[in-house]
Chain A
Amino acid sequence: MTDTATTPAPTPSTVRTPLVEMRNINVAFGGVHAVRDVTIDLFPGEVVGLVGGNGAGKSTLTKVLSGAQRADSGQILINGEAKTISNPRDAKDYGIECIYQTLALADNLDAPANLFLGRELTTRLGNLDDDQMEDATRKVMGRLNPNFKRFTTPVQSLSGGQRQAVAIARAVYFNAKILIMDEPTAALGPAETAQVRNLVRQLKSEGIGIFLISHDIHDVYDLADRVSVMYHGQIGDTVRKEAVSTDDILGMIILGKKPGDVTEKELEQLELRG
Chain B
Amino acid sequence: MTNVAGTTDGAGTVPGTGGRPSIAELIRATEIDLRLFGMVLALVVIWIGLGMQNSKILEPVNFLTFSVQAATTAVLATGMVLVIVSRNIDLSVGSVVGLIGMGYAVFMADIVPTTIGLNNPIGWIIALSLGIAFGALIGAFQGFLIAYAEIPSFVVTLGGLLGFRGLIWQFSGGTTVAPNLPTFNLLGGGPEGSLGGVWAWVLGAILSVAAVLLLLNARRTKRKYGFPLRPMWAEVVIGAVSVGAIFAGVFVANSYHWPPGLATQYAVAHGITEPPGGLQIEAGIPIPLLIVIGVTIAMTFLSTRRRFGRDIFAYGGNPVAADLAGINTRWIVMRTFILMGILCAISAAIASARLNGGTLDLGQGYELYVIAAAVIGGTSFAGGIGTIPGAILGALVMQSLQYGLGFLGFNSPQVNMVAAVVLVAVVGLDAWNRRRAR
The residues of A with any CB-CB pair to B shorter than 8 Å are 66-68, 87-89, 92, 98, 100, 102-109, 113, 117-120, 122, 126-128, 131-132, 134-135
Chain B proximity of A152: nearest CB distance (Å)? 9
Q: Is the CB of A106 within 8 A of B324?
A: no
Q: In the complex, are the beta carbons of A127 and B318 less than 8 A apart?
A: no
Interface status of B222 (Cβ within 8 A of chain A): yes
The answer to whether A120 and B310 touch (CB under 8 A), given A107-B384, A131-B221, is: yes
How distant is the Cα of A126 from the Cα of B306 in the complex, in angstroms? Answer: 7
Cβ of B384 and Cβ of A106 under 8 Å apart? yes
Q: How far is the CB of B424 from chain A (nearest CB, A)?
A: 24
Contact B305 A134 (CB under 8 A): no
26 contacts between A and B (CB under 8 A): A66-B324, A68-B323, A68-B324, A87-B326, A88-B323, A88-B326, A89-B326, A98-B324, A104-B325, A105-B318, A106-B322, A108-B316, A108-B383, A109-B310, A109-B314, A109-B384, A113-B314, A118-B311, A122-B307, A128-B304, A128-B307, A131-B221, A131-B222, A131-B224, A131-B225, A131-B227
Whose C-beta in chain A lies nearest to the C-beta of B304?
A128
Nearest residue (CB) in A for B326 is A89
Complex CA–CA separation, A118 to B320 (angstroms)? 12
A108→B322 contact, CB < 8 A: no
Dominant secondary structure of chain A at its interface with chain B:
loop
Q: Which residues of A contact B225 (CB under 8 A)?
A: 131-132, 134-135
Task: Say whether B317 faces chain A, with CB atoms less than 8 Å apart.
Answer: yes
The residue of chain A having its C-beta at the shortest distance from the C-beta of B385 within the complex is: A108
Residues of B within 8 A of A67 (CB): 326
The 3 A-B pairs of least Cβ separation, nearest first, read: A118-B325, A108-B317, A108-B384
A92 to B325, CA, bound (A): 9
Minimum CB–CB distance from B388 to chain A (whole Å) comes to: 15
How far is B222's CA from A132's CA once the two chains are assembled, in angstroms?
10
Contacts of A106 in B (CB 8 A): 313-314, 317-318, 321-322, 384
Enumerate chain A residues within 8 angstroms of B415, measured Cβ to Cβ: none
Q: Contact: B384 with A117, CB < 8 Å?
A: no
Give complex CA distance A119, B311 in Å: 10
Complex CA distance for A119 and B221, rounded to whole angstroms: 21
B24 within 8 A of A: no
A107 to B322, CA, bound (A): 11
Could you list which residues of chain B lie within 8 angstroms of chain A, going by C-beta atoms?
221-222, 224-225, 227, 304-307, 310-311, 313-314, 316-318, 320-327, 383-385
Which listed residue (B222, B306, B327, B383) contacts A127, Cβ 8 A? B306
Establish whether residues A104 and B320, one from each chain, have CB atoms under 8 Å apart when the complex forms: yes
Which residues of A sit under 8 angstroms from B222, Cβ to Cβ? 131
Residues of B within 8 A of A102 (CB): 320-321
CB distance from B225 to the nearest CB of A (A): 5
> Would you give the shortest CB distance from A209 to chain B, in whole angstroms?
20
- Are B318's CB and A107's CB within 8 A? yes
Whether A118 pairs with B326 at a CB distance below 8 angstroms is yes
- Which residue on A lies nearest to B220, using beta carbons? A131
Q: Which of B304, B306, B307, B321 contacts A104 (CB 8 A)?
A: B321
Nearest CB in chain A: distance from B244 CB, A: 28
Cβ-defined partner of A128 (8 Å) among B306, B317, B320: B306
Q: Are the CB atoms of A128 and B325 closer together than 8 Å? A: no
With contacts A117-B322, A131-B224 known, what are 11 further pairs, Cβ within 8 A? A68-B323, A87-B326, A106-B314, A106-B322, A107-B318, A107-B384, A109-B310, A109-B384, A117-B327, A122-B307, A126-B306
Task: State in angstroms the CA–CA spacing of A104 and B322 once bound together.
Answer: 8
> Which residues of chain B come closer than 8 Å to A89, judged between CB atoms?
326
Within the assembled complex, what's the spacing in Å between the Cα atoms of A16 and B132?
A: 59
Within 8 Å CB of B313, what residues of A? Answer: 106, 108-109
Which among B221, B322, B326 has the greatest number of chain A C-beta atoms within 10 A?
B326
Closest partner residue, chain A, to B327 (CB atom): A118
**Complex formed: what's the CA distance from A102 to B318 in Å?**
11
Which of A66, A87, A92, A105 meets B321, CB within 8 Å?
Answer: A105
Q: Specify the chain A residue showing the minimal Cβ separation from B386.
A: A108
In the complex, what's the smallest C-beta–C-beta distance from B262 to chain A, in angstroms? Answer: 44
Q: Which residues of chain A have C-beta atoms less than 8 A from B227's C-beta?
A: 131, 134
| Cβ–Cβ contact A117 & B305, under 8 A | no
Contact A128 B310 (CB under 8 A): yes
Give the Cβ gap from A149 to chain B, nearest Cβ, in Å. 10
**Nearest CB of A to B387, in Å:** 12
In the complex the two chains form, is B317's CB within 8 Å of A88's CB?
A: no
Chain A contacts for B385, CB-based, 8 A: 108
| Docked pose: A67 CA to B318 CA in angstroms | 18
Picked from B224, B325, B383, the residue with its CB within 8 Å of the CB of A117 is B325
A269 to B222, CA, bound (A): 64
Residues from chain A with a CB closer than 8 A to the CB of B322 are 106, 117-118
In the assembled complex, the CB of B226 is this many whole angstroms from the nearest CB of chain A, namely 8
- Distance to closest chain B CB from A238 (angstroms): 27
How far, in Å, is B408 (CB) from chain A's closest CB? 40
| From A67, A122, A131, residue with most partner B Cβ within 10 Å | A131
Contact of A109 with B325 at beta-carbon distance under 8 Å, contacts A128-B306, A131-B227, A134-B227 already known: no
Query: Which residues of A are found within 8 Å of B314, using beta-carbon distances?
Result: 106, 109, 113, 117-118
- Taking a contact as CB atoms under 8 Å apart, the answer to whether B306 and A117 are in contact is no
**Chain A nearest Cβ from B217, distance in angstroms:** 10
Determine whether the beta carbon of B324 is less than 8 Å from that of A109: no
CB distance from B86 to the nearest CB of A (A): 12
Please, how many angstroms separate the alpha-carbon atoms of A103 and B311 in the complex?
Answer: 17
With the chains together, A239 CA to B305 CA distance in Å?
51
Complex alpha-carbon distance, A117 and B384, angstroms:
14
CA separation between A108 and B322, bound complex, in Å? 12
